[in-house]
Structures are given as C-alpha cells and as structure tokens.
A and B are shown apart, each in its own frame.
Chain A
Amino acid sequence: MVVKQISVFVENSEGKVKKAINEISKEGINIRALSIADGTEFGILRLIVTDNEKTKKTLQNEGFIVKESEVIVIGIPDEPNGLNSLLEILEGENINLEYVYAFANNKTDEAVVVIKVENYEKAKKLLESNNANLFDEKDIANL
C-alpha cells in the first residue's frame, strides 16, 4: 500500500531539472506525477514514477542526491470542493501537511492528490477509516 516518492536535489540553474528528467526517460521510466518546490538557490524535484529502484539508481549514477519518502496518493472527486473534504478529515485530527500537489486524471473522473504529512501511519489509518480512495503502486502504474 505504501507509495514512495522520489525527491531529487536540483540547483536553481539552467537545465538542471531537464537533465534529471532526461536521465529517467532515457531508461524508459514513466513519470506519473511531478512537482517542484523552489527555494532561492535550489529546488526539490518530487516524482511519482513507475520504477523507484531504477529511477534511484539512474539518478544516483548521474551524481544526483536522491531520497525516497512515504507519501499518500489519493483519488478524490474531480469537482469543486473535492480537495477540501479530504483536508477537512486530516485537519479534524490535527495532522499537519508538509506539502500537497495534485493533478487531474483523464482516465477517470477523479483527481489525484499527493500529500506528505507529519504522521504517515496516523494519516493513513484515518483516511482508510473514512473510506478514502488510497492508491497503491498498481494504481499508479495504471494512471
């Protein structure tokens, strides 16, 4: 059930993100979701991919610093207020969000949200008990 996101340290200079993505695509790895957190000097490229091990290895071989972390990937109704109902559940239990990114899924009428929380286990249990549509690796591969 655990979905792991790959994070990559990228300097804020021309072509750095492109280089990372190039290396991954050369290996035939599909990126399912992507977001960039940008600071003043560097950014963090966050990726949900089809093959974590291969992605890690490829990027590390190219000298990138890579980290794998547990995130929650969840399907929500692709309609106004869809995200809010999810956030309300977490807020009700005082679970802090570290970051969120989302994208619309063309194949279904759901939107997909990736969230990183402070307390992963607690958040997962809470969402499960609320019958939330948590994605696993297989779901991600089918996106």
Chain B
Amino acid sequence: MECMDPEERKELQLERLKKVVKLAYDKVPFYHKKFDEIGLKVEDIQSLEDIQKIPFTTKDDLRAAYPFEMVAVPPEEIEEIHASSGTTGTATVTCYTKEDIDIWAEISARAIGMAEGEKRDKIQNCYGYGLFTGGFGIDHGARKFGAAVIPMSSGNTKRQLEIMRDFKPAILTCTPSYAMYLGEALEEEGYGPEDIHLKTGIFGAEMWTEEMRKRIEEKLGIKALNIYGLTEIIGPGVSNECLERNGMHIQEDHFYPEIIDPNTLEVLEDGKRGELVLTCLTKTGMPILRFRTRDVTSLVHGKCECGRTTVRMTRITGRTDDMMKIRGVMVFPSQIERGLLKVSKASPNYQIHVTRPDTLDELEIKVEITPEIFSDEMKALDQMKYKIAKSISKEIGLRVDVTLVEPGSLPRSEGKAVRVIDERNFK
C-alpha cells in the first residue's frame, strides 16, 4: 500500500470515497441533512475532485454531536471509545468498530515500520493510556506489528529511565517535550545515550521544531521521527515520518488530504501552505468527511527516497486559530518566536501588534528586554533591534518594526502571555 503506483491508489481512493460518502449520507443524520440542504446527491461524487462539492466538517460540528450523534453503526458494533481532552470546549468523541481498530492498528504499525521496527524490538510507550488516543494507538500498532509493547503511560520519569536502561527498548514513543525531558533527566542521573539501547523515537501530539529534533537526537542517541494524528480522525498514525525525516507520509489509502486557504476555503495546489482537511476513506464507526483540522501544513507529492509513494505533509507550522493575515501573507506567532530565538537563546517574552494606520498593515513586535540583549550603549541596543527585526523578517517574509520594552510590561492573562493584538479595523 505504501509503495503502490499513485494512479492505482487514486482508483482505490475513489472507490472508497464513494462508499464512505454513501455510508455517511445513509447512516449519519448530520451528513444527510447537510447534503440535502445543498442538493448534493451521493451519485454526484464521481471523481476525487468531486470531493470539493462536499461541505466541511468542523470541530464545532463534532462538539454539537456530542457524544454519539455522528455514529453510523448500532451500539453493539462499537468496540472502543476515545475522546479529546476538551480543554478548548466540549470534548469530541470518536467511536471505533472492530474494523476501525484494525485500520488504526495498521497505520500505527506502519509508523513503527518506518521507525526501523523489528518484531524482536520492545517499544517503550509513554503516551498516556486512557481517553487520549496516544497510548492505545501505539499499543494497537505494536501488537499488529508483532513487537513487544511496554505500556508505561506518561509520568514517573525515574521509573521510565530505569525501565529504559534495564528492559533495553529499541523504540520510544511519547511527546517530543517529554522525550527532551527524559534525555535531560537521563543526563542528570549520570547516564548518556551509551547506557540505553534506543534506536528511534516516534514523537507527536504537539508542535515541535527542527532544533528540538536535533537536541532530542543528541541526548538520546536516536533518530527522532514526527508522527501526526488527531482524535477526530482516528488518533496517531494518520501520517508519520520515515527515516529520511523529510515530511510525514500520509496513509492515503485510509485518509484523503486536501489543503485549503482558511479564508477563501478554496483548495490550494501542491506545495502551498494552508489548512489541512482530512476525509476518512475507510472508517465505519464514525465516517468523517472533509474535517478541517486547523493545522497548517503543505503537501509534497512524488516518490520519497525511502521508496514510499504516499504524499508527505510538512511539519505543522501553526494553527489557523492563531494565524494572522498581514499584507496578504500568512503569519504565525511560532515563526516570530523562531526569529527571536535565533537572536536570543533566552527566548524573551514578546507581543505582536498589527495595525493598519492607512491602507497598509503594519507589524510591530514588542520585545521585553532581557539581560542577554541589554547593553549600556544606545548604539548596541539599536543594532540589537535591527538584528531581531531582520531575523523575524527572514522567517515571515515581511518587514517588521521591533520595539524594546521593560520586562513584565507586556500584559499577560492568567499567567499566559497574550501574543497577538490585532488593532486593525475591518469595518
């Protein structure tokens, strides 16, 4: 499946798309109503491009369907239930049939395969076991793959390190920030990569950077691979990096990806950055069509060095929730942070002010001064401002103004920094 001829795969995708659209229309009142509202018939889907006729499904739609409104099968066919944390609102629930769990196990097993997995390997799984899909997703995959899973779940770092040294797992699975933490804790205990036997790590469930990858790889002596997934679709394994570490291979036989402009909602061409939209082609418990992930990425088609022909998605660079459009260019706080970090390791607090004094957007970055960037010379401070502005400009491709402000002077809300203040008036 992973190395199949792309044209053949398209045929398979279309066949599956038609099937899932029919299932959704017939069995899920939400889709039935949505299709009827715009006069869309199941038979109207005759090519992969026709998918664009189908309305989007949003996170809010799924919340409104809480808990089981989206389920397409009778209760006796549901085998497992997971849910998102619900930190940003009502939780979204996903119900899996036996077949869905098989699909999930299959894609997760492929991720283990990409991470150089062998049947004799042990996998230290530190994703949380519970409603969260991380722990069980890897667990299902490890079983399907035939490797041994050590179901550590998250937390208890001391014990994690003990098991890591004594059980000699070959693959580590957790969030990138926990991998980093484990690496640091290992060092603190007086050990290093030579004392453990990990060869790869499969890290996901949060945004991370190339700089972080390098540091994790050094600290643990491994190749660190990026995994992507979301509860609404299935869980981890929707896409995963191979050892080339050059984009995550989307499991296209099960998920159909599109990239859209989050403002115009138009589908963008290959290579353009925008919001990822996913359609589940094979899931039966809860068929989801054109789900707006809010994650920003781009797609790269073509055969990978590893031999796989599946489309790759680039590292997630932001969420459309915190995306700004400035002079027509998409800008994310994470890019500004990256620009700042290149100048000052201490990662100063900052705030982005967007204004439109006349007809053109202006971008001002207020940076709280740190001992690292302060100087007693005005000239040096001016140069520092220029350096920061240049570094940020390089990241976002727009000219910015940088203002240095006193520490603690930027407003915070409930301890969390307020990153963006958009004062543009669009009335």
Contacts and interface: CB of A to CB of B under 8 A. Distances in A.
B181 interface: no
A9 B377 contact: no
A11 B376 contact: no
A116 B376 contact: yes
Contacts of B377: 44, 98-99, 116
Contacts of B382: 39
A7 B376 contact: yes
A7 B371 CA distance: 11
A63 B376 contact: no
A86 B330 CA distance: 56
A9 B378 contact: no
A2 to B, nearest CB: 15
Interface string B397-413: 00000011111110000
A22 to B, nearest CB: 16
B121 to A, nearest CB: 51
Given A39-B381, A65-B370, A67-B371, A5 B406 contact: no
Contacts of A65: 369-371, 374, 406-407
Contacts of A46: 376
A11 B369 CA distance: 10
A7 to B, nearest CB: 3
B346 to A, nearest CB: 11
Contacts of A69: 376
A109 to B, nearest CB: 30
A42 interface: yes
Contacts of A5: 376
B403 A9 contact: no
A5 B405 CA distance: 22
A63 B406 contact: yes
A42 B376 CA distance: 12
Contacts of A7: 374-376
A125 B413 CA distance: 53
B369 A44 contact: no
A44 B404 contact: no
B25 to A, nearest CB: 60
Contacts of A76: none
B199 to A, nearest CB: 45
B345 interface: no
Interface string B349-375: 000000000000000000001110011
Given A65-B369, A65-B370, A67-B371, A98 B407 contact: no
A9 B379 contact: no
A19 to B, nearest CB: 10
Contacts of B369: 9, 65
Given A9-B369, A39-B382, A67 B403 contact: no
Contacts of A98: 377, 379
A123 B105 CA distance: 72
Contact of A41 (B376, B379, B403): B403
A8 to B, nearest CB: 9
Nearest to B372: A65
A129 to B, nearest CB: 26
A72 interface: no
A42 B408 CA distance: 15
Nearest to A46: B376
B406 A10 contact: yes
24 contacts: A7-B376, A9-B404, A11-B405, A37-B378, A41-B403, A42-B381, A42-B405, A44-B376, A63-B406, A63-B408, A64-B406, A64-B407, A65-B369, A65-B370, A65-B371, A65-B406, A65-B407, A67-B375, A69-B376, A98-B377, A98-B379, A99-B377, A99-B378, A116-B376
The 6 nearest A-B residue pairs measured at CB:
A7-B376, A65-B374, A69-B376, A37-B378, A11-B406, A63-B408
